[in-house]
Amino acid sequence: MVETVRLEKDGKISRLILNRPTHYNAFNFDMIDGLACALVELAVDKSVRAIIITGEGKAFCAGGDLKWVSGFAGGPAAGFHRLAASYHLAVMEIRRMNKPVIAAINGIAAGGGFSLALACDFRVMEKSSTMLQAYTSNGLCIDGGGTFTLPRIVGLARALEIMAFDAPISSGQALSWGLVNKVVDDGKSLAEATAMARTLSDRSLISYGCVKQLLNDSFANNFESQIEQERMMLCACADGPDAKEGLKAFVEKRKPIYHSH
C-alpha cells in the first residue's frame, strides 16, 4: 500500500510530504487522516521543533479528491463530512501547536490545499506555482478555516474577490497580497523552507507559542482583554526556563541556547 503521507526527519525538523503525485496530491480519507495523525504526534514530539508541509511531484495539494467524494457510498455530502472531520483536525493542530509550521508550495495549491497552506504559519512559494481557491467554481463553499484565515491575511474586500471570481493567483500576486512570505525559484521551496525552519528551531518555542496564540486570539478579544492576556503570558514566559536563559545570555552578550518545549 502506498504511503499517502511520508514523514522525513532531519534533526529538529520534520517534513510531511503529501504523496499522491498522480492525483496532484488531492486528499482522500487515507491521506487527510494520515496528515492529521502525523500532526497530532509531531505536536508533542519533543525532538521536533519545526514542521514543513510540502507535496511530492508537481503539486503541493489540489484539495479534496472530488472523484473520491463523488463516489462515496453515502453521497457527496457524506463524503465531505468524512473528509472535513480529519481535515479540520489537521488544521486545528497546526493552529494550536507552539511549533512553527511552514508550507513549501511546489506547483498548484487549490481548494483544500489552498486553505491548508493558509493555515500554516509561513508559506514559501515557487515562481511557477499557482494558488486557486477553487471551491466556488465547483459550486462549493470554502472550508479548512479558509474563511477565517483569508480575510485576516488580505482583508475582507480582497478575500471576497478571491472567493467570488476564483481567478488563479500567481506567485508574484500572492507575494504582493501577503498570501506568501517568500517566492523562490522552482525546485527551491523545500530548501528555503528548511532554512527558515532551522532558524526558527533555534528560537524559544515557549515564546513562539505564546505569541502565536496571542495573535490568533486577538481577533476575538477586545483591547482590554487582549492586553491583560499579554500581561499574563509575558509573566508566564518570564518565569520559564527560556526567558531565564534569554535574559542571562543578553547580560552575558552571547547567543541564547533554548531547549524547552
DSSP states of 113-164 as a string?
A: HHHHHHHSSEEEEETT-EEE--TGGGT----TTHHHHHHHHH-HHHHHHHHH
**Of the candidates 160, 180, 201, which is a domain's last residue?**
201
On whether both 70 and 189 belong to a single domain, the answer is yes
Neighbours of 92 (CB within 10 A): 15
Give the mean pLDDT of 110-117: 97
On whether both 133 and 247 belong to a single domain, the answer is no
Q: What angle do CA 211, 202, 183 make, to 5 degrees?
A: 75
Q: Above 80 in pLDDT, residue 2?
A: no
Strands across the sheet containing 50-55: 5-10, 13-18, 50-55, 101-105, 122-126, 182-184
On whether both 157 and 244 belong to a single domain, the answer is no
On whether both 99 and 179 belong to a single domain, the answer is yes
Which pLDDT score, from 0 to 100, does residue 46 have?
93
On whether both 245 and 196 belong to a single domain, the answer is no
Which pLDDT score, from 0 to 100, does residue 17 have?
98
> Between 23 and 69, whose confidence is greater?
23
Mean pLDDT over each residue of the chain, to the nearest integer: 95
Give the residue numbers spanning the domain of 195.
5-201
On whether both 246 and 170 belong to a single domain, the answer is no
Which pLDDT score, from 0 to 100, does residue 74 have?
87
Which pLDDT score, from 0 to 100, does residue 111 have?
95
On whether both 232 and 124 belong to a single domain, the answer is no
The number of distinct structural domains making up the chain is: 2
pLDDT single digits (tens) 126-154: 999 999 999 999 899 999 999 999 999 99
Please check whether residue 260 lies inside any domain of the structure: no
Give the mean pLDDT of 204-224: 94
On whether both 196 and 221 belong to a single domain, the answer is no
Which pTM value belongs to this model?
Answer: 0.94
**Of the candidates 184, 201, 218, which is a domain's last residue?**
201
On whether both 29 and 150 belong to a single domain, the answer is yes
Cell numbers representing residue 164 in the block: 467570488
Beta bridge partners of 51: 14, 101
Please check whether residue 245 lies inside any domain of the structure: yes
On whether both 192 and 210 belong to a single domain, the answer is no
Please check whether residue 220 lies inside any domain of the structure: yes
Which pLDDT score, from 0 to 100, does residue 224 have?
96
**Of the candidates 201, 217, 237, which is a domain's last residue?**
201
Q: Above 80 in pLDDT, residue 245?
A: yes
On whether both 232 and 190 belong to a single domain, the answer is no
On whether both 183 and 247 belong to a single domain, the answer is no
